[in-house]
Every structure is written in C-alpha cells, then in structure tokens.
Amino acid sequence: MPDLAADAARLGLPPVVATERLTGGYRDDNTRLDCADGSRYVLRRYSHGDRAEVEAALARLVSGAVPVASVVAVEPGLLVTEFVPGTPVDVLVHGSRLPKRADSERRPGAC
C-alpha cells in the first residue's frame, strides 16, 4: 500500500488524519484524504500510464464551464484535487456503479 500521508506531505497538504479509498474509478486508485485542519482532498494515483498533467490541464481548462474539482497539486503519477461530495457520474448516468474492467479487456489508449 502506498504511503499516502508521505505523498500528501510532499505535495504540501496538511497532515492526513484519515483516508478512504473511493469506489467507482475506472482504473486508477482514488483515495479521499481527510486532513487535520478539516480540509478534504482526493489523491489519484495512476496505475496505467501517467495522465496526471493532462487531467490537471483539462480540469483547469473546463473549470467555470462545467463543474469540476479544483486541482491542488500535480506531479508525475499523482493528482490531488479538492474533494467535492456528491453522486458519482456512473450512478447518475446508469443508476448503479459500473464494474471495473479487467486489464485484459482494456484497449491501449482507452480511457
């Protein structure tokens, strides 16, 4: 298991007091970080290629036009955004969580 508290500290976040792995991610590991000052963030760890910079740039580009969590920090393989409570998109669109696909079912370049 990655050292989430160490990642958070290196990225300049307040001390982490609790974590919760978030479900619904298609292929990356998303963890909510609850910090000592009451702030909450999502740390995304990329398990299939590094798209952190691309996703951060896209989030910054569309902010203001569509609801998107603010980017807090980015480094190769990691993206931190603010935590925004709500209903996951897969539940809104499909009425239930979509199952994760096995690595063997993924196509190169597919999201």
When mean pLDDT is compared over 66-70, 98-102, 107-111, the highest value belongs to: 66-70
Domain assignment present for 59: yes
Separation CA 50–CA 95 (nearest Å): 30
Domain assignment present for 38: yes
Domain assignment present for 111: no
Q: What CATH code is carried by the domain that includes residue 44?
A: 3.30.200.20
Domain assignment present for 60: yes
Domain assignment present for 8: yes
The count of structural domains within the chain is 1
- 62-90: per-residue pLDDT in tens? 988 988 899 999 999 899 999 998 877 76
Q: Identify the residue with better confidence: 11 or 101.
A: 11
- The kind and range of the H/E element at 82 are strand 78-82
- 5-53: per-residue pLDDT in tens? 899 999 999 999 999 998 766 678 899 999 999 999 999 998 777 788 8
Q: What are the strands, taking DSSP E only, across 11-50?
A: 16-21, 29-35, 40-45
- The long-range contacts involving 101-107, CB below 8 angstroms and separated by at least 24 positions, are 101/26, 101/27, 103/48, 106/27, 106/48
46: domain range? 4-105
Q: What is the DSSP letter of 93?
A: H
